[in-house]
Amino acid sequence: MNFARFLNPRSLPLVITTSLFALLYGFGAVSYDAFLSPQVFVNLLIDNGFLVVVAVGMTFVIISGGIDLSVGSIVALTTMVSATLAQQHHWNFWQILPLVLAIGCLFGLFMGVLIQVFKLQAFIVTLGGMFLARGLCYVISIDSISITEPSFTVLAEYRIPLGEETFVSTSGVVAIALLAVGVYLAHYTRFGRTVYAIGGNERSAMLMGLPVAKTKIMVYVLSGFCSALGGVLVTLYMQSGYGLHALGMELDAIAAAVIGGTLLTGGVGYVVGTLVGVMILGVIQTLIVFDGSLSSWWTRIAIGGLLFVFCLLQRLLDRSGKKIRTKN
């Protein structure tokens, strides 16, 4: 019985993902002396903090049985709006922050209503949102806009010391804070339980009297919020706004969620697993940088291979779980 529980797709993918991360990090530690530096480990979070934030929102969407292809474009739009207001209208960071977060939420609300109320396919709706947001970036400006506004510079350069030679940036702190909120929402609130129920079987969730329509819309609002917040972190990281920022980030977010153990069919997934998925992508990039002889495109090749493996693993676990439930 314990073995059957171990095979449950709710737990085994996370175990495998965590083990893979440990193996990759161990390989780097054995191959390169500087790889064991604490700052190298923290940099995995600093350099990918915005992806963690966006991927958390994507995780909720996928668990609910949906998909959101607009996240990368909303990130780019956030950087453009922030840069324009900061440079041309002299707004400071704290004036811009609530506005861009509201824009992200409104985008999510608009797409959620189209998906739920008008029964449109999430793939098509969010694809339209992707084109709309990316197009608005170029309406604002076709060029990159550098940000020199002091409040942005201060936050971009802010460092929290963790030791003598180790520090974490604003991006890392925000990513961990949002991750904690995501874990709480997913596992300790009615909203989270409803999201899992919808992904498992939407019709059953409706028969149980759960607020399916409201929750599905709120899932896309949450994803829009996370995308806008991720855009804020990208703005601080790059200190600029550009229509080509976050190009393909929606695919990275989906990859991180799937590698982290979230089933594309919905109903199963861990927010913490998404963090591990992002860290795996980060450690692959770091290994390529330390090697120095490989092209950065090998990161994409490795991610593609991992996605094939984890999709196959999900399929096998799903079949195993059905056989075990049938025998019981």
Give residue-wise pLDDT tens across range 14-57: 888 999 999 999 999 999 988 989 999 999 999 999 999 999 99
Mean pLDDT of the chain: 92
Q: Which pLDDT band, with edges at 50, 70 and 90, does 160 fall under?
A: very high
Tell me the one-letter amino acid at 245: H
CA-based nearest residue to 78, from 219, 226, 218, 217: 226
pLDDT of residue 12: 80
CATH number for the domain spanning 37: value is 1.10.3470
Q: Which of 7-21, 251-265, 300-314 has the lowest mean pLDDT?
A: 7-21
Closest CA to 97 of 228, 243, 281: 228
Task: Kindly state the tokens that stand for 182.
Answer: 């995501």
DSSP lists the bridge partners of residue 160 as 168
The set of long-range contacts for 4-11, using a CB threshold of 8 Å and a minimum separation of 24, is 4/324, 4/328, 7/317, 7/320, 7/321, 7/324, 8/321, 9/261, 9/263, 9/268, 9/314, 9/317, 9/318, 9/321, 10/268, 10/270
Q: Is 1 within a domain? A: no
**80 residue type, one letter:** M
Between 81-85, 164-168, 202-206, the lowest mean confidence (pLDDT) is in 164-168
Is residue 68 a part of any domain in this protein? yes
Alpha helices (H) along 117-149: 122-140
Q: How far is Cα 271 from Cα 51, in angstroms, rounded to an integer?
A: 13
Alpha carbon distances (Å) from 34 to 28, 30, 40, 159, 285:
9, 10, 8, 21, 15
Q: Name the phi and psi angles at 150, rounded to 5.
A: -55, -40
Average pLDDT over residues 180-205: 97
Is residue 87 domain-resident? yes
Q: How many domains does the chain have?
A: 1
Tokens 């780097």 belong to 28
Q: Is residue 250 part of a domain?
A: yes
Give me the pLDDT at residue 146, please: 97
Whether residue 289 is contained in a domain is answered as yes
Please compute the mean of the pLDDT values over residues 286-291 and round it to a whole number: 92
> Where residue 126 falls among pLDDT bands split at 50, 70, 90?
very high
pLDDT exceeds cutoff 70 at 185: yes
pLDDT attached to residue 112: 98
Domain that holds residue 227: 6-327
- Residues 115-119: what's their mean pLDDT? 96
In sequence order, what are the residues at sequence separation of 6 or more whose Cβ sits closer than 8 angstroms to the Cβ of residue 166? Answer: 38, 39, 42
- Residue 322 is assigned to a structural domain of this protein: yes
* pLDDT above 50 for 3: no
In a domain, 135, yes or no: yes
As to burial, measured by CB atoms within 10 angstroms (0-12 exposed, 13-18 middle, 19+ buried), residue 270 is buried
The whole-angstrom separation of Cα 264 and Cα 222 is 18
